[in-house]
């Protein structure tokens, strides 16, 4: 399908809407982001390089990206399961469950942080039972992963739900009539059909996790080099009135995130082209 | 393969889809299940396929060659199933779609890669889509997709081919082409084929036998010829379509329309009973002058010359609309014009007295 809206627009107003879109994007997104780059550019190259490669910053990057990746992967698997149950089965309380999914969306992240702390802290409901086995569920990278999983779940579930609803049962029946067992039907028919939505859900959960601040700082303990995430480092730089330093860390975060989103978009585009859906 | 269905019922909640159905399908036969939506034809097909299980009943059986398969799941029945909306695997190429049934076989029974390739290519050849193996379903037309779906079903060398309104989503010309192709394919492959359709023309044209279904029951089973000329019930004649219905009364054991007898005497029926008289458009003749006592006066309201026959619409003095087909030659002879007063005369009629079903 052609994206050339102008040549076959049904409604007039392409100029107006496109102009508004560009203005809006510029004011809300592009100008603030470029200000960030400008701020970082006030440092000279050596300072910039030193800031972003200092051991503490690199550790924070590694933790942020690593924990976000793990959390997004966990969410992709278990979020898919949750979405599957909600779409495919009818059970009492299904609608309540469906509503609960959105809670991590709606809650202020600080509230999430406090809630998680109440449970996973060394004295918390679950934390105190795991501590004797040497599992620290708070003030540890594990705590960060837990928090990021919590806040990322709705993204996967909500992305997959429409795709699952659309998944036509006939393709599964066709596979069964051709002799495929349930396992083969699942891996060869269902999973590939859901792949684009799984990838989108994963990306959204991942992106959300990269930017998360509020809930993480409660459970992380914020020990430099160990449980300090990049956002927190930016805040502490700001507290020290080191605005260019904060901007430098942010620029790297921004560029890396943008690159990842671009790659995922590319994969989506490529796979749709491959199957003639683009 | 011969298939025998015995005493099958199926209900979904309070809705009865099949009511005590028994049917025997001969080996190598192409049989159509014909009926309106909700008549149970698709449910019957899915029961045969094993996609629905019939209501539990000790007397009910689904026999493939005498073997009861009622408890066998769909994958073990070796049936080729074709869906109305193709149900192709969108993320797979045409080649992989067709190869799917071979690739999912247990390792011990799975053909070698080269054998799979040969098989798929011969099937692509059969459906006249050589060179389309690398395309994806989205890149094919509706008719091509349905052919791929058929090839996919044929790849597992099914004992029986089940088609659920396979041409329902296609436009008229493609549908007709595929219908003829299906018939020749059936003869070539020598399979048993069951075709579900709501299109009476399709059913009458391709099938060896037609099963007319209505409200979860079988109304009539017979060769297209029999079903068309000897309809067993009012429903059948009505559903096969293209028929004029006159509502008359019984008088002295004979159905009467406007004081005109239309044949078919039934002495046992009391006077005054309602009688429905069905006359096909080509069983009515038009004359300028009354011919005997069974002529009815009518006015020509519409003449449609587009077709092999001319289709004439007329209005009786009772304000009832009727349709008459006449040949082009007859139309010329009669010099019919709109508004002309003429006389119509049913040559052949079937009479049903609703409360005294024959």
- Cα–Cα distance for residue pair A201/B115, rounded to 1 Å: 40
List Cα–Cα distances, A257 to A65, A153, A233, B252, in angstroms: 9, 19, 17, 92
Q: Which residue of chain B has the CA closest to A196?
A: B91
> Which residue in B49, B79, B87, B149 has the most chain A C-beta atoms within 10 A of its own C-beta, making it the best mutation to test that interface?
B87
Is residue B257 scored above 80 in pLDDT?
no
**Mean pLDDT value across residues A65-86:** 94
Residue A155 CA to chain centroid, in angstroms? 7
Q: What is the mean pLDDT of residues A95-102?
A: 90
Rg (CA), chain B: 25
What is the pLDDT at residue B152?
95
The verdict on pTM exceeding 0.90 is no
From the list A170, A178, A195, the residue facing B156 with the nearest CB is A178
**Mean pLDDT throughout A42-70?**
90
Contact B101 A275 (CB under 8 A): no
Higher pLDDT, B229 or A76: A76
Q: What is the pLDDT of residue B291?
A: 76
- The pLDDT of residue B222 is above 90: yes
For A178, nearest residue in chain B (alpha carbons): B101
pLDDT at A22 over 80: yes
CA angle B85, B46, B33 (to 5 degrees): 85
Cα–Cα distance for residue pair B171/B185, rounded to 1 Å: 21
Local structure of residue B77 (DSSP, 8 states): T
Residue A83 has pLDDT above 90, yes or no: yes
Taking CB atoms and an 8 Å cutoff, what residues of chain A touch B85?
168, 170
Q: Look at strands B67-68 and B244-251 and give their pairing.
A: unpaired
**What is the spatial distance between Cα A227 and Cα A213, in angstroms, rounded to a whole number?**
13
Distance CA B63, CA B51 (A): 15
Interval A265-272 mean pLDDT: 86
Give the pairing of strands B309-316 and B244-251. Answer: unpaired
- Residue A52: predicted pLDDT: 86
The whole-chain average pLDDT of chain B stands at: 87
Mean of pLDDT values over A96-123: 88
Q: Is the pLDDT assigned to residue B144 strictly greater than 90? A: yes
| pLDDT reading at A221 higher than 90 | no
**pLDDT above 50 (res B107):** yes
Task: State CA A235 to chain mean position distance.
Answer: 21
Beta bridge partners of B256: B249, B261
Chain B nearest-CA distance from A156, in A, is 21
Rounded to an integer, what distance in angstroms lies between the CA atom of residue A261 and that of residue A15? 28
A contacts of B149 (beta carbons < 8 Å): 174
Mean pLDDT of chain A: 87
* Whole-number Å distance between alpha carbons of B209 and B222: 5
| pLDDT tens, residue by residue, A157-214 | 999 999 998 887 889 999 999 999 999 999 999 999 898 899 999 999 999 999 888 8
Contact at CB, A180 and B139, closer than 8 angstroms: no
Q: Which residue of B has its CA nearest to A173?
A: B51
Inter-chain residue contact B51 with A173, CB threshold 8 Å: yes
Cα–Cα distance, B233 to B229 (Å, whole number): 11
Class of domain A44-277: mainly alpha
pLDDT for residue B286 is more than 70: yes
pLDDT of residue B358: 45
Query: Do A188 and B88 count as a contact with CB atoms less than 8 A apart?
Result: no
Whether the Cβ atoms of residue B26 and residue B223 lie closer than 8 Å to each other = no
Is residue B254 very low, low, confident or very high in pLDDT (cuts 50, 70, 90)?
low
For an interface test with B, the pick among A171, A177, A190 (most B C-beta atoms closer than 10 Å) comes out as A177
Give the pLDDT of residue A278.
46
Q: What is the C-alpha to C-alpha distance for residues B146 and A84, in angstroms, rounded to an integer?
A: 30
Spatial CB neighbours of A213, under 8 Å, sequence gap ≥ 6: A109, A229, A231, A232, A235
**Residue A268, Cβ neighbours under 10 Å: how many?**
16
Query: What pLDDT is attached to residue A1?
Result: 41
Percent of chain A with pLDDT over 90: 35
Cα angle, residue B141 at apex, residues B139 and B142 outer, rounded to 5°: 125
Contact B88 A171 (CB under 8 A): yes
In this structure, are residues B47 and B9 in contact, taking their beta carbons and an 8 Å threshold? no
Query: B278, B342, B290, B291: which is closest to B312 by C-alpha?
Result: B342
pLDDT band for position B204 (cuts 50, 70, 90): very high
Q: Is B155 on the interface with A (CB under 8 A)?
A: yes
- The domain locations on chain A are 44-277
The DSSP code for B168 is T
Q: Which helix (H) or strand (E) holds B327?
A: strand B321-327
Give phi and psi for B330, each to the nearest 5.
Answer: -60, -40
Q: What is the pLDDT of residue B245?
A: 85
Share of chain B above pLDDT 70, in %: 92
pLDDT attached to residue A2: 44
User: How far does A78 lie from chain B, in Å, by closest CA?
Assistant: 23
Q: Which of A80, A95, A115 is nearest to A197 (CA)?
A: A80
Residue A209 CB partners (closer than 8 Å, separation 6+): A67, A68, A71, A72, A148, A151, A152
Average pLDDT for residues A4-31, to the nearest whole number?
A: 79
Instruction: State yes or no: pLDDT of B299 exceeds 50.
Output: yes
pLDDT at position A78 over 90: yes
Residue B266 pLDDT: 52
Contacts of A182 by beta carbon, 8 Å cutoff, 6+ apart: none
Minimal CA–CA distance to A87: which of A196, A177, A194?
A194
Q: What is the mean pLDDT of residues A86-98?
A: 89
């Amino acid at each position: 399908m052609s994206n050339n809206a102008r040549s076959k627009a049904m409604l007039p107003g392409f100029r107006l809407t496109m102009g508004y879109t560009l203005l809006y994007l510029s004011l809300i997104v592009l100008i603030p982001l470029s200000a960030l780059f400008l701020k970082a550019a006030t440092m000279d190259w050596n300072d910039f390089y030193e800031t972003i490669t200092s051991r503490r910053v690199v550790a924070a990057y590694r933790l942020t990206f690593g924990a976000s990746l793990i959390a997004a992967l966990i969410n992709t698997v278990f979020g898919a399961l949750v979405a599957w149950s909600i779409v495919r089965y009818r059970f009492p309380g299904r609608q309540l469950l469906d509503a609960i999914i959105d809670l991590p969306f709606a809650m202020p992240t600080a509230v999430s942080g406090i809630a998680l702390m109440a449970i996973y802290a060394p004295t918390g409901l679950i934390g105190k039972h795991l501590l004797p086995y040497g599992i620290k569920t708070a003030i540890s990278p594990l705590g960060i992963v837990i928090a990021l999983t919590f806040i990322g779940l709705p993204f996967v579930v909500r992305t997959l739900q429409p795709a699952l609803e659309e998944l036509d049962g006939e393709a599964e029946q066709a596979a069964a009539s051709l002799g495929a067992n349930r396992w083969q039907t699942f891996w060869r028919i269902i999973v590939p059909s859901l792949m684009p939505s799984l990838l989108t859900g994963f990306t959204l959960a991942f992106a959300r996790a990269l930017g998360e601040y509020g809930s993480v700082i409660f459970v992380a303990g914020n020990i430099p080099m160990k449980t300090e995430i990049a956002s927190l480092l930016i805040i502490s730089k700001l507290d020290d009135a080191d605005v260019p330093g904060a901007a430098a860390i942010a620029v790297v975060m921004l560029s890396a995130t943008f690159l990842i989103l671009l790659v995922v978009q590319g994969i989506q585009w490529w796979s749709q082209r491959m199957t003639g859906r683009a | 393969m011969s298939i025998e269905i015995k005493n099958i019922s199926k209900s979904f909640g309070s809705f009865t889809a099949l009511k005590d159905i028994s049917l025997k399908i001969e080996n190598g036969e192409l049989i159509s299940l014909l009926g309106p939506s909700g008549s149970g034809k698709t449910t019957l097909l899915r029961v045969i396929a094993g996609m629905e299980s019939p209501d539990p009943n000790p007397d009910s059986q689904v026999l493939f060659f005498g073997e009861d398969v009622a408890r066998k799941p769909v994958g073990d029945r070796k049936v080729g199933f074709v869906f109305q909306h193709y149900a192709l695997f969108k993320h797979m190429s045409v080649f992989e779609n067709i190869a799917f049934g071979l690739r999912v076989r247990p390792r011990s029974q799975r053909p070698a890669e080269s054998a799979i390739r040969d098989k798929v290519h011969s099937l692509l050849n059969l459906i006249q889509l050589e060179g389309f193996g690398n395309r994806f379903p989205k890149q094919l037309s509706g008719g091509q997709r349905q052919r791929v779906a058929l090839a996919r079903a044929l790849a597992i060398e099914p004992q029986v081919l089940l088609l659920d309104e396979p041409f329902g989503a296609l436009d008229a010309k493609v549908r007709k082409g595929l219908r003829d192709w299906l018939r020749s394919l059936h003869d070539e492959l020598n399979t048993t084929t069951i075709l579900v359709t709501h299109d009476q023309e399709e059913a009458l044209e391709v099938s060896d036998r037609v099963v007319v279904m209505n409200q979860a029951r079988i109304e009539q089973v017979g060769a297209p010829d029999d079903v068309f000329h000897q309809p067993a019930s009012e429903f059948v004649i009505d559903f096969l379509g293209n028929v004029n219905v006159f509502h008359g009364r019984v008088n002295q054991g004979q159905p009467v329309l406007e004081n005109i007898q239309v044949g078919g005497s039934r002495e046992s029926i009391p006077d005054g009973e309602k009688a429905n008289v069905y006359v096909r458009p080509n069983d009515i003749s038009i004359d300028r002058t009354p011919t005997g006592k069974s002529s009815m006066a009518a006015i020509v309201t519409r003449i449609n010359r587009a077709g092999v026959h001319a289709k004439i619409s007329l209005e009786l003095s009772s304000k009832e609309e009727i349709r008459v087909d006449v040949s082009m030659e007859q139309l010329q002879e009669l010099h019919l014009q709109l508004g002309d007063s003429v006389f119509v005369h049913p040559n052949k009629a079937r009479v049903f007295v609703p409360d005294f079903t024959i």
